[in-house]
Amino acid sequence: MSKIKAENVNVYYGSKQALFDVSIDIAEKEVTALIGPSGCGKSTFLRCLNRMNDVIDICRVEGSIKMDNLELNSRKLDVVRLRENVGMVFQKPNPFPKTIYENVAYGPTIHGIAQSKEEMDQIVEISLKKAALWNEVKDRLDEIGTGLSGGQQQRLCIARAISVSPEVILMDEPCSALDPIATAQIEELIDDLKKEVTIVIVTHSMSQAARVSQKTGFFHLGKLIEFGPTDKIFKNPDNQQTQDYITGRFG
Amino acid sequence: MNSFKKNLLKKRYNAERRFQWYGKIAIGLALSFLAVFMFQIFSKGYSAFQKTWIVTEVHYDKELLLIDAESPSKDDLENADYYDVAYKAMTSLDPGLPEEEDRQLIQMVSYKYEAEVKDLLLKNPDYLGKIVPIKLTASDDVDQVHKGNYPRDIPEENRRVNDYQLQIYDMLNERGDILSEFNISFFTSPDSREAELAGIASSFMGTVFSILVCLAFSFPIAVLAAIYLEEFAPKNKFTDFIEVNINNLAAVPSIVFGLLGLGVLLAVFNLPRSTPLVGGITLSLMTLPTIIIAARASLKAVPPSIREAALAMGASNMQTTMHHTVPLSMPGTLSGTIIGLAQALGETAPLILIGMVAFVNTIPGTPVDPAASLPVQIYIWSESAERGFVEKVSACIMVLLAFLILMNLAAQIVRHKFEKKWS
Ligand SMILES: Nc1ncnc2c1ncn2[C@@H]1O[C@H](COP(=O)(O)OP(=O)(O)OP(=O)(O)O)[C@@H](O)[C@H]1O
Ligand SMILES: [Mg+2]
């Protein structure tokens, strides 16, 4: 089933066009990987899905992006509600310089999800457990989140993102700052999460895309060159450019 | 290594060594200027923290006090006539002196000596009818003689203390009846025309009130302006124009703000003249741009990743700003504020214009009472010709410096202690 349906999305930074007629169907409760050489517009597209491009003054988005038939690229859209439903994990771990507990509790607090302290404790615990961080931090929830290791910080950011039970999680190179062990943990996490959540992940690692995703989209120079089941993209792509990129002949 | 390379290397090392030397010389010069300045101030000012007393005996004679009652009440003591008793206390130092020369003895103590005689009896009613020793504030001339600030070997007509008075002083000093004690009244008394009585209580409180008023006006306005400009305002020509003007405002000479205070606060709004309220508002015009600039710089220093994190969690712009950006920028904003206030603390010109230079011999209890301020007090005293005020000027500078050092220390502590680290 399709969760997000983008049609003819064009994005401009000032007069410079960054995305050209991108159309894509993102399936529900699957992992979709976006790959492509640096500067091809993966992040730009990802940020269209939770309207983070609004933050950039010169950025202009055209086209239609529908999530469950709700038009995202519309002035009338309540961005706050959208971002409650579409969480995001960034390339560089960016926990708040607050306690671990406060980091996870922030989303539920501002969206009024927990009715009581007990409920909030529950949410924090479940989120940290899902992010495979609970055992490491359960005794020091009141320590500052920025004091954790890089991998732990990124899992904290994932816990923060899932604390409001979003339907979609966007991940922009979540493992680029992590070592192989932390990367493996996060990949395992993604595998678990996809039972409940739709995940879109940007990655520079072919093997990671192959391991975690069901669908893969290949971007090049702002265009979506090819999109399809991960198996097919990696084993038998239709497009020559895709073939070249995957086999490491450019990019 | 060939010789060319060797030469080059040597040159580089020499250049570095030379550069370090220039730096050291510069720092050494700066430090020695500071040392000379400090030495000047301390060597001149430390004696102001000592107060000279003349000890004599007073006879609380009921007759001279004009008290009739058998057991006089507090009111009787309050209303008694102390003139003769006080007068006798001083003239008893030299009973042989002809009456028309008495003034010479009386001049050796402060003009408030009668009040001091009265205070002692009011505090100890059982002294009535007895002869007791009493400490009287020495006149500033005797005070200066005792502190050795007054040359004794110049011709008598050029001296404020004549030979006879010096003789009495020497006699008292030999008897141990000249006392030198810590000068509490320097901190507890308001200004006075008489150097021996003048203190900084009025100007100190004036400064404290001015700074508080200044903080109360400038901090909220500046922080809100900074937050709006940095986080919410669209970036266009108009906001650029505002930014340029704020920077210009920070460079406007402070006396111009004084004129503004005079023309607007006093003339248009009719606020009370010579008060810390007006002084504080005038100073806040000066600190406003300093705080805005500091607050904007520290808002800008909050990494965008924190903002993105909050926004991506679904926080509104307002929530992102209030929950994350502003708290993280507070240490920088606060230390900027303290530095702005420290600048305001030393301001004299604008305060003189709004009338805080008036002679105030009461201690202000509220910001709407007339008051001076420490730097203005320094200015007022430095205008006085009397020798006794010279040491007071230096002492007042020392108090002001201590105030400044404390504030800068506070700024440092705020900056280092509350600065949060982010990844
Ligand atoms: N804030 C911005 N202002 C102007 N141009 C931008 C901005 N962000 C991105 N771009 C441009 O848009 C294009 C796509 O950038 P984007 O960040 O989406 O690439 P990417 O595929 O995520 O690259 P990478 O793999 O290096 O992260 C690039 O050419 C880039 O220069
Ligand atoms: Mg990117």
Domain B201-418 = CATH 1.10.3720.10: yes
The closest residue, in CA terms, to atom 2 on ligand 1 is: A13
Tell whether A138 is covered by a domain: no
Structural domain contains residue A213? yes
User: Can you give the pLDDT at residue B141?
Assistant: 86
Measured between beta carbons, which residues in chain B are less than 8 angstroms from residue A111?
314
Ligand nearest to the CA of A60: 1
String of DSSP letters for B228-249: IIIIIS--SHHHHHHHHHHHHH
pTM: 0.83
CA B50 → CA A163, B56, B184, distances in Å?
Answer: 68, 19, 9
**B397 vs B97: which has the higher pLDDT:** B397
| d(CA B338, ligand 1 centre) in Å | 41
**Does A100 fall in a domain?**
no
By the CB < 8 Å criterion, does A145 face chain B?
Answer: no
Is A151 an interface residue toward B (CB < 8 Å)?
no
Tokens describing residue B216: 């109360």
Residue B423 confidence (pLDDT) = 41
Q: Which domain holds residue A216?
A: 2-95+167-246
Q: Are strands A31-35 and A215-220 parallel, antiparallel or unpaired?
A: parallel
* Nearest-by-Cβ selection for A90 from B308, B323, B328: B308
Tens digit of each residue's pLDDT (9 = 90 or more) over B149-208: 888 888 888 788 888 888 888 888 898 888 888 989 899 988 888 888 889 999 999 999
Show residues of chain B in contact with A87, CB under 8 Å.
312-313
Q: Which ligand is nearest to the CA of A13?
A: 1
Say if B44 is an interface residue toward chain A (CB within 8 Å). Answer: no
Contacts of B94 (CB under 8 A, 6+ apart): B105, B168
The answer to whether residue A73 is domain-embedded is yes
- Contact state of A146 with B423 under an 8 Å Cβ cutoff: yes
Q: What CATH number corresponds to the domain at position A24?
A: 3.40.50.300
Q: Which residues contact B96 (CB under 8 A, 6 or more apart)?
A: none
Q: State the Cα–Cα distance between residues A121 and A127, nearest whole angstrom.
A: 10
Number of structural domains chain A divides into: 1
- Across the range A139-144, mean pLDDT stands at 92
Alpha helices (H) in B93-138, listed in sequence order? 103-106, 113-123
The Cα–Cα gap between B355 and A176 comes to 65
Task: Report CB contact under 8 Å: B308, A55.
Answer: yes
Q: Which segment of A93-107, B69-83, B114-128 scores lowest on mean pLDDT? A: B69-83
Count CA atoms closer than 13 A to B407's CA, side-chain side: 20
- Identify the band that residue B121 occupies on the pLDDT scale cut at 50, 70 and 90: confident
**What does the pLDDT look like over B20-46, one tens digit per residue?**
999 999 999 999 999 999 998 898 888
Say how many CB pairs under 8 Å bridge A and B. Answer: 71
Is the beta carbon of A178 within 6 A of some atom in ligand 1? no
The per-residue pLDDT for range B210-236, each reduced to its tens digit, is: 999 999 999 999 999 999 999 988 888
Dihedral over alpha carbons B304, B310, B312, B314 (to 10 degrees): -150
One-letter amino acid identity for A168? Answer: V
Q: Is residue A154 part of a domain?
A: no
Q: Is A217 in the pocket of ligand 1 (CB under 6 A)?
A: no
| Residues B65, B66, B72, B76, CA torsion sign | negative
Question: For position B387, what pLDDT does the model report?
Answer: 78
Quick check: A211 pLDDT over 90?
Answer: yes
Q: Is residue A131 part of a domain?
A: no
CA dist., res. B306 & res. B328, Å (int): 10
pLDDT of amino acid A191: 92
Whether A61 maps to a domain, the answer reads yes
For chain B, what are the domain ranges? 54-181, 201-418
